[in-house]
Chain A
Amino acid sequence: MKSLKSCHCCGLIQHVPPLANNEAASCARCRSRFADEKDRAKSANRTAAAAMGALVLFWPAVLLPILRIEQLGHSHQSSILSGTIELFQHGSWLVGGVVFLFSILFPLTKIVLLLELSYFELLHRQHKSFTLRLMEHLGKWSMMDVMLLAFLVMLVKLGDMVEFHLGPAVIAFVMCVAMSMLASISFDPHLIWDGDDDTL
């Protein structure tokens, strides 16, 4: 019974014979490779490492000054967080809220959830599916990379009127986006239930 497996690509249920160390199984219909224990462990490890890196870089990206604007000698510098707070202080609750949700809260949640799913596994199995779904939905709405694009647009459009200097947070920001993308790519949802099969 243990040998029955569904192909993750085409869904064909088939027998998978016990494999030796240097063997790998592929789907009879679509030739997709079945991931074995080792692959899963590797994927989880990668995801965890990348997510951890993203988490570490998230804080300098959010807290350090990301942009210094100089206009006629007046210099103003702000980080993502202080910029959001300023938006709130100016009464722009909607914009501030949107920036806070999509640029700070969602990306952070996504990274933390990825880390939890791939490495810590503190949650019960039952909640894992919920977590996974949450992660996938949040991932769509975490707009860190869009923010970078916004900076680029500002640089191009406002270049002559005001002087822009990107702060040190930009490096952290770029790296954080790259790391969290790496984590998402290397994440294999199957590994959530990996090893749970036999507890059924």
Chain B
Amino acid sequence: MMTPSEKSDLTPVNSTSLPTAIVSKKRGLLQSKFWILTALALLLALGLAWWTTPEQGIEISIHFPDGHGLHDGDPIRYRGINVGVVQDIHLASGDGVDVEVMMDQSAKGLLQNGANFWIVRPQLALTGISGLETAVGPKYIAVEPDSLSLETMPREFKGLADVPQGAGERRGTEIVFQADEQFGVNPGSSLSYRGFEVGKILDVHLSDDARHVNFQAVIHHPHERLVTSKSKFWANSGIDVDFSLRGGLSLDTDSLETIARGGISFLTVGDGGTKIAPGQVFKLHKQPEDQWLEQANQVRLPTVDLKGAVTLVIKTSRLGLLGRRSVTRLASAIPVRNSNGETGLLIPSDVLAEFAAEDSSVESVSIDDFSSADFNQQLEERLRQLAATFEAGQTAAKIVMLPLDANVKLPWQNLTTAENVSGVIAVRRPVGAKGDVYVHQPISAEQLTETSDGPLAVEGFVGDHDLWNGCPILSADAGEVIGALVADGRQVMIIPANQLFNE
């Protein structure tokens, strides 16, 4: 190996001349424009790093008895959207597994004491299949917050072993049944009244002393009123076989679901029962006694009185292609009395259009059941007066007050301003009905949304808009008239009582 000095000896250099240093410019740091590129690269690198750094979430730990094949990176979902991700799963020091979860900051509100976590997995039953997406896709943890809990942000939770029955379903009142046997009733079985499902069995377990089987059930709102202390419960076997030599074989079956999962039926067999309290215990009979149904038919349950509507009948003759023809128009009306003692008839304003229309002439106006010559004349007069004050464009979808004298014998209703309604009932008189007959349609609180200018908008109203227009709205709890329904073809709204008198 040659040293540099040896190497330099080989080159034909005049050794006498000393090498002169070359003066050159120092390479400055920012001499080239390329350094701008470097700066950009640095910015890009920092930007990417900042962009990908995950938002710091909330670390929680959930203890499950069984992992059910959960993986790292599987999501936590609440109402179908991801609110967190599983970071780590390991065996717990005692029994079961600990799942470390990073929850999104936005899901902070879910982390309350008593929040339920469970691992969603495919479940097949005769009544339905659930969690099917997890058969091929990833498992996930579902979370359901406890709306009653005030304490928030604990860091450790206990997960549920099983998918809870009725998770995220409607609220209701919980009651307990006690029976000698299970009678084939399972969690998820239905609780039915005259075959109509009003609740669900949540859990079945042996009592502490192992002498009974306890069933935990929930009766959905607003069917609690069907159950009183005089209610009788029995287990549905699903199949009823009756064999006699003369009658032959008679087979009476319930729905396939009831056959497969069993169920509990009940009837309220006596008057004057007290309202149930949550957690009340009832005996579960094996079979219904024959006289129960008979007795139950005589019981009038403490229900809201369906009342309020009268039917306004307007007979008009209209000029058509084939000459004049008679048209009968029916509308719901509510006779009301306000706090000052003034009385009047609340009617949908579009009936006034009948009086304003040029091609029609009103022949007679009456109210079913309350028709008399004097009254009909007064009614027609008042309607014409009111119609005269209305301009054509103004008659769309409104409830108007038709002043009437209090001495007319109408079922006057006091208007009540309801607050925090838990559900309402729309009431209508069936066409041509005589006496105390009403048709009702329950509207749940979930269907109602408040609008900024007062009326409540109704979602998913089923029913003919023309028939229901102007009908009274009763509160589901007390049965008081709290407003009127307006259906104008596109939109269904409830106008609350306090706005009706201002019209």
Contacts and interface: CB of A to CB of B under 8 A. Distances in A.
Contacts of A119: 27
Contact of A41 (B27, B45, B133, B137): B27
A46 interface: yes
A96 interface: no
Interface stretch (B32-40, B94-102, B237-245): B32-40
Interface string B61-91: 0000000000101000000000000000000
B37 A49 contact: yes
B414 to A, nearest CB: 58
Interface in B4-47: 4, 8, 11, 13-14, 17, 19-22, 24-25, 27-28, 31-32, 34-35, 37-38, 40-42, 44-45
A155 to B, nearest CB: 20
Contacts of B44: 57, 60, 171-172, 175
5 contacts: A37-B25, A45-B27, A53-B42, A76-B73, A200-B19
Given A73-B138, A198-B19, A126 B4 contact: yes
Interface residues of B, number: 35
A46 B21 contact: no
Contact of A64 (B34, B35, B49, B137): B49
A80 B285 CA distance: 67
B31 A45 contact: yes
B136 A46 contact: no
B51 interface: yes
A65 B48 contact: no
Contacts of A172: 44-45, 48
A56 B138 CA distance: 37
Contact of A175 (B11, B41, B71): B41
Interface of B: 4, 8, 11, 13-14, 17, 19-22, 24-25, 27-28, 31-32, 34-35, 37-38, 40-42, 44-45, 48-49, 51-52, 71, 73, 133, 136-138
Contacts of B4: 125-126, 200
Nearest to B133: A73
Nearest to B136: A72
B37 A179 contact: yes
B401 to A, nearest CB: 59
Given A75-B73, A126-B4, A168-B51, A57 B37 contact: no
Nearest to B12: A1
A29 to B, nearest CB: 22
Interface string A22-51: 000000000000000110011011101110
Interface of A: 1-2, 37-38, 41-42, 44-46, 48-50, 52-54, 56-57, 59-60, 64-65, 72-76, 119, 125-126, 167-169, 171-172, 175, 179, 182, 186, 195, 197-200
Given A50-B34, A65-B52, A73-B133, A198 B22 contact: yes
A155 B73 CA distance: 23
- The SS class assigned to the A binding surface is helix
Contacts of A200: 4, 8, 11, 13, 19
A41 B26 CA distance: 8
A62 to B, nearest CB: 11
Given A53-B42, A56-B38, A175-B44, A64 B32 contact: no
Query: Could you say which of B8, B13, B52 has the most chain A C-beta atoms within 10 Å of its C-beta?
Result: B52
B14 A168 contact: no
A75 B74 CA distance: 8
Contact of B22 (A44, A60, A76, A197): A197
A3 to B, nearest CB: 13
B172 to A, nearest CB: 34
A42 B32 contact: yes
A39 B395 CA distance: 89
A168 B14 CA distance: 61
A103 to B, nearest CB: 18
A168 B49 CA distance: 9
Nearest to B3: A126
A46 B34 contact: yes
Contact of A56 (B14, B20, B31, B41): B41
B155 to A, nearest CB: 26
Contact of B20 (A44, A60, A169, A198): A198
A56 B42 contact: yes
Given A1-B14, A72-B136, A73-B137, 15 more contacts: A1-B13, A42-B32, A45-B31, A45-B32, A49-B34, A52-B38, A53-B42, A57-B44, A60-B49, A64-B52, A125-B4, A126-B4, A168-B48, A171-B44, A200-B19
A49 B38 contact: yes
A73 B37 contact: no
A75 B139 CA distance: 12
Given A50-B34, A56-B38, A199-B19, A74 B48 contact: no
